[in-house]
Structure 1
Amino acid sequence: MEKDDLKDRVEEPASAYGHYTYADYLTWQMDEMVELIKGKVFKQAAAPRRIHQDVSGKIFNMLYNFLERQPCKIYAAPFDVRLPVKSKKHEDIDTVVQPDICVVCDPDKLDELGCIGAPDLVVEILSPGNNKKELQNKYEVYEESGVKEYWVIHPNECTLLIYTLVNEKYIASRLFTIGDIVKSNAVAGFELDLTEVFENLQH
């Protein structure tokens, strides 16, 4: 699929143009980052804003330093996470996402293409225009695929909401903000001081 062809298919119902898979995804020649959610193509409209990058960088560094001598691995976008349902064959996978940050503790889920299967922790940072994708579309596939913990960060409002998987359903935390220290259940022992994350941000 060429760039101009794909442009017309972004964020359209999969039934309108067919149902896309990871096999299709691998053939696309795209300059910008795209994700595939249940056969539907989503394109990132523009590069993340600076505040997004500041928050992402701080959290990545804190997690990276914490995990440096542990078996879990941390990755930042662009990094393909394939979430199979029926099988791990390229033509059967119709969801490929690129979380802002993810932690994978099972080495069998990692290959040369990225991650296949649910990461233990996913961190998504909201940007203008992507709230629906993160809060609805990705919420559903992360819950269904078994992501143990899903963090949603709103950098402009300096808030963090944690969804924890309990009996295959997400349970939401209270809304955390500056002054809170949050603990991860998926990454045992990791604590995040939100004052450090959100201080000195230029909105």
Structure 2
Amino acid sequence: MSIPNEKERYTYADYLHWNKEGRYEGTDGIVFMTPSPTPQHQRIVTALSALFFHHLQNHPCEVFVAPIDVCLFATKDTPLHDIKDWYVPDLIIVCDPNKIGSERIYGAPDFVVEILSPSTAKHDRITKFRSYEQAGVKEYWIVDPIHTTVEVYVLQNDRFQQIGMYYKDNSISAHTLPECIIELEKVFP
């Protein structure tokens, strides 16, 4: 199958059969292409993943970095042709081993980090924000590499509430992993 037409809706099963280069995400069957990340983006995701990985060594939760498909509103039993929402978050933490499939993640991760780029910022702040909220992601970080900030949102009463804006010289205690403290000076080079 060829690359998608912007005016049509697709399923995750369709996506798996495309002859594609690049990464694609789907929201209610509408497909978006996400460009390759920049070196700055990759430095940040690598630093965050190393810090989380180190912290989670003796913990039941696992950290994953892109590219890994997350089928937000699905379980392992959901037929692939019924899945219409899938994303490739920059970094996720999953604490329920039943959500980790052999090829993808099923359901909402506990924790999601998206690193903004000019071409994806609107998608990360609006479309993904709403989808992650609706799916039940417990904590969502939006990292801005230009302004060296991290916005932290926590799910409270089924809605994301911003609990802080952190800067390069701050430390963040992850809400879903309170014993995990991330020093942002180690994240922003």
How would you bin the TM-score normalised by the shorter chain? over 0.9
- Residue 56 of structure 2 is aligned to residue 79 of structure 1: no
- Residue 156 of structure 2 is aligned to residue 196 of structure 1: no
Work out the percentage of aligned pairs sharing the same amino acid: 34
How far apart are 1:27 and its partner, in Å? 1.3
* Structure 2 equivalent of residue 63 of structure 1: 52
SS of the residue aligned with 1:144?
Answer: helix
Give the length in aligned residue pairs. Answer: 188
In structure 1, distance between residues paired with 2:65 and 2:182? 17
One-letter code of the match for 1:44? Answer: T
* Structure 2 equivalent of residue 116 of structure 1: 106
How far apart are 1:22 and its partner, in Å? 1.2
How far apart are 1:85 and its partner, in Å? 6.2
**Deviation per CA, 1:127-165, whole angstroms, max 9, x where unpaired?**
121111100010010000000000000011100001100
4+ residue runs over 6 A deviation:
none
* Structure 2 equivalent of residue 180 of structure 1: 170
> For the Cα contact (< 8 Å) 1:84–1:92, is it kept in 2?
no
One-letter code of the match for 2:47? Answer: K
**Deviation per CA, 1:105-138, whole angstroms, max 9, x where unpaired?**
0000111121100000000000121111100010
How do residues 17-96 of structure 1 correspond to structure 2 at under 5 angstroms? 17=8, 19-45=9-35, 47-84=36-73, 88-96=78-86
**Deviation per CA, 1:59-116, whole angstroms, max 9, x where unpaired?**
0000001111211111100001001269722122111101100000000011112110
Gaps (5+ residues) in structure 1? Answer: none
SS of the residue aligned with 1:111?
Answer: coil
One-letter code of the match for 1:60? Answer: S
One-letter code of the match for 1:196? Answer: K
- Residue 92 of structure 2 is aligned to residue 107 of structure 1: no
Query: What TM-score do you get using the length of structure 1 for normalisation?
Result: 0.88
> For the Cα contact (< 8 Å) 2:74–2:106, is it kept in 1?
no
Cα RMSD, aligned residues only: 1.5
